[in-house]
Chains A and B, each alone.
Chain A
């Protein structure tokens, strides 16, 4: 109880400080009033100065822990109220055996989980296919290398077979 009261007093004090700071700074703006300039320009200048002061003091106030505590309190209060109202409606729907928003959310979540499981499986399959592709590519490359090696060996042995035949022909040619 004491804690809550202290918090409340802190928040009021912070809010009060906002206004006292605003009025103090605005007084310095009013003091810049120059009767020599046209009144509409002076009024606009003063108005601009006052709004600038207000904007700065409000920005400062919105950064204070007291303001944020106040926002937290009001947001949580609103959420609790909404939850109470929703729970009440859910009970009414239950009594009348009609579907509630909670039931619809449940169905949506179930669909989502199924979708997620399917997508995960598909992604897993995708990865496996990609791995297989990679392996097949590697095997293809090895086969291609071996085929090249076999071709080169065949070329070499062909060339060797042709060379001795040429030399024997030259030795047996008849002299004139």
Chain B
């Protein structure tokens, strides 16, 4: 091709690109006025449910499937204390709960509720050997079952692990997602920021009482400030004309901005005993009158981790498989982030059917 022809093709490509970008930008701007309407359509949880147990601020939801459940042993989801649990049932096609309900499990989810000043002195022992134990006993009675299956996510996974170590006879199978166990790693920023040289947790909790939701949210945003504060809004503007993108974005942002306070004493114990002293892996974590010994866990274990997790790096979760006494244990490291592990399209299509199948083979 001679220079004139190549120059012509080059300018044509530029002109086409400009025209396309101009039209796309116009579509973007015309989509903006419809955002408030789309925001109003966001629902918190999609699978039909009923509340079957309440205690103080805690509620337990039972998810209703289309047919009768196939399995006698119920499955209980245990989420973290820092966010609302509807991330497990975010929207159609992005719901872990729906996967298990469709597979025939009688599925329950614990909503810890929003703590007030009255809850500021609740400890981890109250949650594990109090609330969680009461829920498990209630489910056992409801189903006439000796045991339950537990699925814990993030801090909920840590609570479920402690529960299983103390009450192994009540747990049939344990599934964990992005669960922090070994806090000796310095990969995650939170591990660095809670170093006792830089963070006086006693002063913090004694002054603040419950840990405010705004503090936790700021800390999570600061883990990836450029991605959260710059890239995200840019991405939104670039894709605001795509309905599916906007729907996913709004659902995620609704949940991400729906933090709740954490009871002060629970925060103190997690910061001191786990992040600073790493007592769980040493089998010295005090929980009321118990000492958590991970070697007492003997049930089948499925440990799911996210390779690109900046909140709970794999190095925090992986060691659990070597610390328990279970003979049937498996770990899967999935290429996703902390939330993507649960709700990304690829995880929903490929990971969760595997995880469901794992539990199907081990429950009755």
Contact = CB atoms under 8 A, between A and B. Distances in A.
B20 to A, nearest CB: 8
B121 A68 contact: no
Interface in B12-28: 13-14, 16-18, 20-21
B3 interface: no
A148 interface: no
Given A63-B189, A108-B117, A51 B231 contact: yes
A69 B224 CA distance: 19
A104 interface: yes
Contacts of B231: 51
A69 B230 contact: no
B10 interface: yes
Nearest to B234: A47
A38 B13 contact: yes
Contacts of A38: 13-14, 16-17
B204 A79 contact: yes
B93 interface: no
A8 to B, nearest CB: 16
Interface stretch (B30-38, B195-203, B332-340): B195-203
Instruction: Name B's interface SS.
Output: helix
A76 B203 contact: yes
A79 B207 contact: yes
Contacts of B142: none
Nearest to B224: A55
Given A58-B226, A62-B189, A75 B204 contact: yes
Interface in A77-132: 79, 82-83, 86, 101, 104-105, 108-109, 112, 120, 123
B189 A69 contact: no
A29 interface: no
Given A39-B14, A79-B207, 17 more contacts: A36-B10, A38-B13, A38-B14, A38-B16, A38-B17, A40-B20, A41-B17, A62-B189, A68-B197, A68-B198, A69-B198, A72-B198, A76-B200, A101-B117, A105-B117, A108-B117, A109-B121
Interface of B: 10, 13-14, 16-18, 20-21, 117-118, 120-121, 189, 192-193, 195, 197-200, 203-204, 207-209, 222, 224-227, 230-231, 234, 289
21 contacts: A38-B14, A38-B16, A39-B14, A40-B20, A40-B21, A47-B234, A51-B226, A54-B226, A58-B226, A62-B189, A62-B192, A62-B222, A68-B192, A68-B193, A68-B198, A71-B198, A79-B203, A82-B208, A108-B120, A108-B121, A109-B121
